[in-house]
Amino acid sequence: MPRRPVSTPLIVANWKMQLGVAESAERALDLKTRLSGAKGRFQVVVCPSFLSMAGVKKALRGSTMKLGAQDVFWDERGAYTGEVSPVNLREIGAEYVIIGHSERRQLLGETDSMVGRKVISALGHGLTPILCVGETAHERNEGRHELVVARQIISALKTAPPPMGNGRLYIAYEPIWAIGTGEPASPEQALAMHDLIRQTLIELYSLAQVERSFRTLYGGSVTADNVNQYIGPKAYHGALVGTASLQPESFVTVIKHIDQGFTTKHL
């Protein structure tokens, strides 16, 4: 069997609404200092709150770390009180955007169709979407996890063009019961869902297109100790990290573990 093309692991910090504006910039600067000597066989993306993005962008200057947003609206401009335009995200230096995080779906009523429109918006404005999917504990207990995740992917992508050229789209599998609970999915559960995601994508696009343009992330109680169980040549291409990304020290430990694991698996 031919090996899958090697992809630099993507490690995304989701800071949610956990930090202040100045605090976010300070932590970004701290991260930059701690990673300054690193060789960089990984790509780090920091997703602070909207109001913290400008300060974080400035703090990340001179590093290879990229800026991401935690959401985006589907239109560029208009009477949409409180929403954030993809154009503004680009203006401020964002390159990635988290879309359809379960907290938005569950707490703010974001539907599959809204998520789909946001994916199209991101792709159309040169933002790399990180599309979050994942089932509740109840759905898993009823054996519906695969159906739920396949539905989330199909409805988000059915009207979206595949990423153009070197563009990428990341699917982050985040079982809701594993987010912020300290109870991550087992490697077997996560890898089974990785295979389901890949199969669902292949049914929507061609195998070649999936290999070229789609990547996967695991998220849900990721720590330095468990992260390498999820990432590998036949597994996820990276991680979406919440709690363990808030303190630069613990986030850098996660990144260094991924880097060491990647080297062992690929060299």
Catalytic (active-site) positions: 101, 174
Please state the closest distance from residue 178 (CB atom) to ligand PEP, in A: 6
Residue 161 or 180 with smaller CB distance to ligand PEP: 180
Please state the closest distance from residue 241 (CB atom) to ligand PEP, in A: 5
Among 163, 219, 232, 248, binds ligand PEP (CB under 6 A): 219
Please state the closest distance from residue 132 (CB atom) to ligand PEP, in A: 7
Angstrom distances, CA of residue 191 to CA of 58, 65, 127, 207, 222: 37, 27, 27, 19, 14
240 binds ligand PEP (CB under 6 A): yes
Among 58, 159, 164, 180, binds ligand PEP (CB under 6 A): 180
Among 10, 11, 13, 14, binds ligand PEP (CB under 6 A): 14
Distance CA 8, CA 236 (A): 11
Residue given tokens 């690193």 in the structure block:
38
221 binds ligand PEP (CB under 6 A): yes
135 binds ligand PEP (CB under 6 A): no
Among 179, 197, 252, 258, binds ligand PEP (CB under 6 A): 179
45 binds ligand PEP (CB under 6 A): no
Could you say which residues in the range 50-89 bind ligand PEP, by CB under 6 A? none
96-119 burial, b for 16+ CB within 10 Å, e for fewer? bbbbbbbbbbeeeebebebbbbbb
Please state the closest distance from residue 172 (CB atom) to ligand PEP, in A: 7
Residue 135 or 174 with smaller CB distance to ligand PEP: 174
Among 222, 227, 231, 235, binds ligand PEP (CB under 6 A): 222
Kindly compute the dihedral angle of the four CA atoms of residues 186, 187, 190, 192, in this order, to the nearest 10 degrees. -110
Structure tokens at 225: 């100790």
DSSP-derived 3-state class of residue 17: coil
Name the residue with the smallest CB distance to ligand PEP. 242
Taking alpha carbons only, the member of 186, 174, 196 closest to residue 241 is 174
Burial class for 34, CB neighbours closer than 10 Å (0-12, 13-18, 19+)? middle
Distance CA 258, CA 231 (A): 8
Structure tokens at 200: 């669902």
247 binds ligand PEP (CB under 6 A): no
Stretch that binds ligand PEP, among 65-73, 109-117, 215-223, 251-259 (CB under 6 A): 215-223
Angstrom distances, CA of residue 261 to CA of 55, 194, 267: 32, 18, 10
Among 241, 252, 254, 255, binds ligand PEP (CB under 6 A): 241
Residue 134 or 163 with smaller CB distance to ligand PEP: 134
Distance CA 230, CA 96 (A): 22
Among 57, 191, 243, 248, binds ligand PEP (CB under 6 A): 243
